Structure 1
Amino acid sequence: MKLIKQIKQFVFEEDRPFKSCHASTVIEFPNGDLLVAYFAGSREGNPDVAIWCSKRTNDVWSKPYKVADEEGLVHWNPVLFRQDNGQIVLHYKVGTPIPAWYTRVVLSDDDGATWSQPVDLVPGDIGGRGPVKNKLIVLQDGTWLAPASIEGDVWDCFADISHDQGVTWSRSELVPVNHGKEEQTGDMQLVRGKGLIQPTLWESKPGHVHMLMRSTAGFIYRSDSSDSGRTWSPAYRTYLPNNNSGFDLAQMDDGTLVLAYNPVGMYKGPRMPLLLSISKDNGEYWEELVVLEAEYRSFTIPIEPGEYSYPAVIARGNRIYVTYTWKRERIVCWSLEVETA
């Protein structure tokens, strides 16, 4: 695959109406415009953190505008999804601490200009249902599958499943993980630390779904399902390093997978550099496509590493879009075109 075009833009500049931002998500409209959402405020976890959006029209970004803000509630991890009928669905988490957060959903029928009042995705949910960071996918049979996880004493992943376009949801079984407990025996690989969260999903053929998961064990882990995400294979380690930071993946029309991640195999390691890699064999082998961000440490002039993290990736035709956090101060958007033949 050959990269033929690449454009890097800041979604907003220094005159942003907040101090800190993180956890972006992106969708593309049929005309090529983009909508990006993120959480922003004084600092992650503070009560003034809300969900904001920016829209790109004819390659020009709008000023950030607030779309979800309930007084006294911390807001986290927005996830955008555009339905075929044009309606936009925005999921996000509210509440603190994280193990007790829950999921809100709002809708827009005017391309993100205005939004409905927030409602709970699953009434009574504590712990977080629906997409936790990365986008949901639509399976070939029309099922919605959302990559989900919970963060308690241990971290576990699952998929949330909807057969009625997001009206109701049912949980899959948890991805089997060896957390080091005596009852977890067999051929499951031990995962050091708390475990696995924030999966990203793709479907390779009808009913065959796969997830890559963030881990506390220094590597990205994987699980596979042959029943449309209802049950999952025991989690197993890939060779891709992971610094216990989020990543995302998209599937191109020809089946090529595009993964944005920090290739750092160290627990809580630096969130840099940030790479975009591709796989043409369903995620078995990965090849670097482009370095999105990198900082180099000189022996004579040491520098503090920046944070380039939490990417979101979408693909349509021969176009790839990547958004991510830039030093907790801004959101970056890359627009790329590739030659696929």
Structure 2
Amino acid sequence: MSGMDDALTTVTLKVNRFTPRPERDRGARGGSPFAKKSGSPFGGSSSRNRRPHGKQWVQEYTLRVRPEDTVLDCLLTVKRTVDPTLAFRYSCGHGMCGSDAVSINGTPTLLCTATVADWAVRPNPLAQADDEGFRHTGDADDAAANAHEDDSGLGVIELAPLPGFPVQRDLIADIDPMLDQIRKLKPYLQADGVLATTSEGKVDVFEYLQNPQQLAKYEMLTNCIACGVCEGSCPVFAGGDAFIGPAALIAASRFVNDSRDTATASRLDAIDTADGVAACQSVRACSRQCPRGIDVGEEMWQIVARVKER
């Protein structure tokens, strides 16, 4: 038991919290006739990055943890033993559902795959300011030695809701705008409805069989769990501009690359708009933290090239 206690250390969670203010019933007054309206079918800042109205504050929780614990483990401990009012979302807890995407230290990722050891940040002892706001300019070795003596644990982890989406409460973001964009692109197999037949007039049961090369073209894209990490990382989407977003384009690319789908032309037409592939700036930030290993930036480049080359 003592050995287990020795393995524990401390970490401080700095959680950006938010409690929404009840919306007022504006009756029949409606909105302002001078309000800017977005003509994009994929939405823009008016539908996604609305300024939340309510109480906002940062709350700190210091816990005894193991370095290999996940940030989700820490939040569950807070919820169960410290503060039951803390709100966050999760489901499977194993990186398969994508429901627990948040911003950790400014980077969109999943709570259940982020370990404390990987994300805790130690304060820089040379950047500490005194009460009057001035940084001490003592010897660097002395400062480092003092920091070692005053070991305060693994450090600090800052948590915030997923960027680019309206905040519902604390760490819970409303990802419905992303799911609506995916639905608009009809994320399901579309065939012509005509059954192939053999020379004997029987139904050809091998009509939709694929060879390994055909399967490989889209198989990786089926791993997308629509967590929103790529969209929260995208400076165009998270910045509030009208943009279909990388998640929807990945869903479209999955069927464009499927040899069994017969709606390629209409799919490419749907994303060949100013707010579709044309809005992508090829920053490739969407690839950095994909929990399913999809090179989102490369797939975005491929679908953009496909649209331009047709």
Give me the TM-score of the superposition, normalised by structure 2: 0.24
Higher Rg of the two aligned structures: 2
Higher helix content, 1 or 2? 2
- Structure number with the bigger relative contact order (C-alpha 8 A, sep ≥ 6) is 2
